[in-house]
Structure 1
Amino acid sequence: MDDRRVTPSLWIDGAPATAEALAHQALVNYGAYTSFGVENGAARGLDLHLERLRDASVELFGEAVPEDRLRALMRAAIGSREACWLRVSLFSDQISNRNPTWVGQPRVMVGVFDPPPPLRTRVRLQVQAHERMAPRLKHVANMDLLTTRRRARADGFDDALFADRDGVLSEGTLWNIGFVRDDRVTWPRGPMLAGVTQRLIETGLAGVGLDSETRPVSREMSTGFRQAFICNSATPACPVGEIDGRALEIDPALIDRLRAAWASNPPQAI
């Protein structure tokens, strides 16, 4: 038995989660979250995750949770674990389907889990016409993400890449995408979540001999790129093997450079 495995646990405002609080979250799908890996009490891009929670808290609840409180709740949930995965969620049991008007500081749930494995060594993507509600937020309303991923799997793909009504590409179900030509990464411009891993890679690109641009990328324009990758907190970079059945080149050296760009950002102590 591997004694390094994490016993999953859920904490709300520093105490073990109660059935009553969890029932409310199961019935009222309103809130936001962020998730990331922790090693030795630190996480890459922690400041960006805290920024995400602050902005979502103000937009959804009208008041931010103080950063020092978030940090203390995360440290308490981690305890003595050397490595784990955190999901930090914001919610309020004062908000319901019948009465959604409450304003104030939300409650904080911290889930502690085993680090998830990275995505596959390559992914096959299906472009689907879809625009997430409030795409700037990492919110808990994920039915559309599961629906589009299920549709892609049913059609023989691994996942879905979203395009708006004009055919402009944006993001995937749980990740950002970058297209690569020569030594330049092209990030799509459009309504989407500003991924923490995407931002960390962007920060480190110059150090690995790459540069970048952000511009609209239509479904048709994407055929001009020979390589692409996806990224999220669990997977710093995963090559895209095909889009809508069109094969793309896979260069392991490029993926190594992208992962090195991400790793160049030092972990920040919680």
Structure 2
Amino acid sequence: MIETVHIDGAPATVEGLMPAVVSGYGAFTSFQHEPGGVRGLGLHLARLGRSASELFGHSVPDERVRAFLRTALEGLEGRATVRVQLFLPAISVRRPEALGRPSVLIRVAAPLGALRGPLRLQSQAYEREAPHLKHAGTFGLVRAMRAARAANFDDALFVTPDRLISEGSIWNIGFIEGQTVVWPRAPMLAGTCQALIQHGLEAVGLNSETRPVRLAEVGAFDGAFICNSATPAAPVSAIDDQRLDTAPGMIDRLEAAWMTNPVEAI
């Protein structure tokens, strides 16, 4: 498919893109469009609304974003990867205090395949700046991923200075303890896929809890998985030198929990 970029409902121009490219100050959300809409669309819109208020002093009405999405996706009937990014052209290093309603950039591209496991993760002491926000500052994430790949791991798992597990480079992690999913409690981004799985766990006979998980405790779990908007669940086979045996049947149940959430029309 042809990749497209719109800003505030119109095809992007080079001049229009420059503020978003140069400043690096902004927030975004990304998701997979399916026939009929998006799973968890309300969660993505809520995230954008909270981010806009915090970063720019003005919220973005859901219907405004929906209208821009409908324009960007016009004629699309199948699957696609969609990124919705907020930025304020008035903000710069010379004028960091600017406030106002942010512009809405929407990129539509080919659908992403799910991350495939089993994955080997390298723990790294790292915390994203303002971890509760899905912001445009991704240098540290890519650098961490590159370091993990150079060390023959698949990806990076972030831990705090006191060795609490938080999140991964572009995903959340969950641990399996019997029939319970354990989510780590630490400074991190609460993921939309994580919330969708959480919502559907009861339907597949699983429980959940959120508690601090230390790196040294990993070996005591029955398994682990990662999840993001393109990957409902992918098994983890190792964190550093600690092996994990994540049952394929558990991954199937987690994907089924995610599937209980309906596709929301845009």
Normalised to the residue count of structure 2, the TM-score between the two structures is 0.98
AA aligned opposite 2:221: F
Deviation at 1:220, TM superposition (A): 0.9
May I ask how many residue pairs the two structures share in their alignment? 265
Supply the distance in 1 between the matched residues of 2:157 and 2:35 (Cα, whole angstroms): 34
1:218 matched to 2:214? The reply is yes
Deviation at 1:245, TM superposition (A): 2.4
Supply the distance in 2 between the matched residues of 1:41 and 1:68 (Cα, whole angstroms): 17
Deviation at 1:26, TM superposition (A): 1.8
C-alpha contact (below 8 Å) 1:41/1:75 kept by paired residues: no
1:52 counterpart (34, 47, 55):
47
Deviation at 1:244, TM superposition (A): 0.1
Supply the distance in 2 between the matched residues of 1:207 and 1:263 (Cα, whole angstroms): 10
**Within 5 A, what are the aligned runs for 1:12-161?**
12-82=7-77, 83-161=79-157
**Within 5 A, what are the aligned runs for 1:232-243?**
232-243=228-239
1:239 aligned counterpart, secondary structure: strand
Deviation at 1:41, TM superposition (A): 3.8
**Cross-structure match for 1:177:** 173
Deviation at 1:23, TM superposition (A): 2.1
In structure 1, the gaps of 5 or more residues are 1-5
2:215 aligned counterpart, secondary structure: coil
1:206 matched to 2:191? The reply is no
Supply the distance in 2 between the matched residues of 1:179 and 1:35 (Cα, whole angstroms): 24
Supply the distance in 2 between the matched residues of 1:147 and 1:21 (Cα, whole angstroms): 28
Q: Identify the range of structure 1 (44-53 vs 34-43) with the bigger mean alpha-carbon deviation.
A: 34-43
Kindly report structure 1 stretches of 4+ aligned residues shifted beyond 6 Å: none
Supply the distance in 2 between the matched residues of 1:241 and 1:222 (Cα, whole angstroms): 11
Q: CA RMSD in A?
A: 0.8
1:266 matched to 2:262? The reply is yes
Supply the distance in 2 between the matched residues of 1:103 and 1:268 (Cα, whole angstroms): 32
1:220 aligned counterpart, secondary structure: helix
Cα-to-partner distance string for 1:187-206 (whole Å, 9 max, x where unaligned):
00011101000000000001
**Cross-structure match for 1:3:** none
C-alpha contact (below 8 Å) 1:37/1:115 kept by paired residues: yes
